[in-house]
Amino acid sequence: MGISELQEALRRFAAERDWEQFHTPKNLATSLSIEAAEVLEHFQWLTDEQSRNLRPEVREQVGHEIADVFLYLLQLADQLQIDPLKAAEEKLALNAAKYPVEKAKGSSKKYTEL
C-alpha cells in the first residue's frame, strides 16, 4: 500500500468501529505524541552505540511503535487535509535555507544560534 491507500484503509478502519467520534485532530495529535514516546522508551537507557545495534527483538518492537506513529500521523494529516509527502518536501527545502552547509557543517546548534 502507498500513503493514500493506507489513509483510505485507516478511514475505513475507524468508520467500521464507529471511532470517528474519538478521532478529533486534538486526540490524534495526543496519540501521536504518546506513540512517539513509546518509540523513545526503547532507547531510554541505551548508549548511542547500543542504539545503532539493536537486538533483533527490540528492533522488531521499535518497528511496531514507528508504525503506530506513522499511522497516527497519516490520520492527523488526512483530517487536516495536509499532504504529508508534499509538506515534508517543503519543510526539507525550508531546512536547507535555515541550515546552509557552510554555516551548519559539523554543528548541532539551532539555526537561531548559527
Contact (CB, 8 A) for 69 and 36: yes
Q: What does the per-residue mask of binding to a copy of itself show for 51-90, with x meaning CB under 8 A?
A: xx-x----x--xxx-xxxxxx-xx-xx-xx-x-xx-xxxx
Q: How far is the CB of 51 from a copy of itself (least distance, A)?
A: 4
Q: Is 9 in the site for a copy of itself (CB under 8 A)?
A: yes
DSSP H helices in the chain? 3-16, 25-41, 48-51, 56-79, 84-98, 101-104
Contact (CB, 8 A) for 84 and 77: yes
Q: How far is the CB of 56 from a copy of itself (least distance, A)?
A: 11
Interface positions, 27-56, toward a copy of itself (CB under 8 A): 27, 29-49, 51-52, 54
